[in-house]
Amino acid sequence: MKEPNEISTDIAEAMNKIEAKGTRTQVASSPIKVTKISKSSKASLNEPNERAGNERVDAGLCPNRKSLTRALVGGSNADALDFVTENDQLALCPGGDNKSNAQIIQRYNLAAIYYETGGSSWNDASKWLSTTSECDWAGITCRSGVVIEIDLSMQSLSGKLPDEISKFSSLVKLDLFSNKLTGSIPLPYGKLSELSHLDLGTNLLTGTVPDIFYSMEDLVKAYFDANYLVGDTPKSICNNLDKKPEFIYSADCDKIDCASCTRGSSFGSAIGSLIGHSDGRRQVCSTYLWIILGAPVLVII
């Protein structure tokens, strides 16, 4: 049996011979494995594979990918985690530069939305879970590589509203109009401080409209109509109505107390438009709530 210093000498000599022949080596304790990599193979390591599918990503290129990714994304959706760690041909490795880490998180959260809302049954899931940039997936708009719009309206989404949507802190528009989404509106959506357009109308949502809109200073459109939501109009929505004459709030006033926004409002102030505002998709009457002589009046047009 060779002494440790003799083995080290043998490995060093083997590496010198390999480097002289223009090859690379993988060094293990025993035996020594030598692999020659062609130019085309080198290119395939540095460029994303354009073939979409379920082909597994070589874990050897990124040791501990799954555990590192799980810690990075902080999520628990097993299918989405499998996508970014095993099936995503971009083969992004966590722990590198901030841009790569941000893209991993973004692709994971979008994949979670896909799996949690029946993505395989969507009307149009073009390029979703493919090797292309997530910014090119159907319904996704980005600015400088960051998702700012999610428009999955009329796509036959089902299941509950995904919590992962709240992870898109730069989101300006969230449009989930006319789907089959159920359950309540997640409280973490209140983190979407950049949101200006929110449309959850024409779904199967239940519970109340939560009072989570205080940080959304740019919000000008909020649609909750044609659901099973009940209760009062939240104060954070009333605040927006008071401050912005152009603010559009759409709700089912037979289930939600739309007039609750008039409390404390001053004489002659316009509270805003309610129920069925026409946006090219809602072909129903428009109802406007105004304060006339200090009392709320619903005017149906």
pLDDT for the residue numbered 258: 85
- The proportion of the chain whose per-residue pLDDT surpasses 70, expressed as a percent, equals 67
Span 257-281, average pLDDT: 52
Per the DSSP assignment, residues forming a β-bridge with 297 are: 290
Class of domain 142-257: alpha beta
Q: Given pLDDT bands bounded at 50, 70 and 90, which one contains residue 245?
A: confident
Peptide bond into 186 cis (omega under 30): no
pLDDT for the residue numbered 36: 41
Give the domain ranges of the chain: 1-41, 52-138, 142-257
Does 4 have pLDDT greater than 90? no
Instruction: Give me the sheet containing 295-300, strands edge to edge.
Output: 140-143, 146-151, 173-175, 197-199, 221-223, 248-250, 270-274, 287-292, 295-300
pLDDT averaged over every residue in the chain: 77
Does 57 have pLDDT greater than 50? yes
Per the DSSP assignment, residues forming a β-bridge with 175 are: 151, 199
Give pLDDT tens digits for 163-187.
999 999 999 999 999 999 999 999 9
Q: Given pLDDT bands bounded at 50, 70 and 90, which one contains residue 271?
A: very low
Does 288 have pLDDT greater than 50? no
Amino acid at 44: S
Give pLDDT tens digits for 82-93.
999 999 988 899
Does 281 have pLDDT greater than 80? no
pLDDT for the residue numbered 250: 92
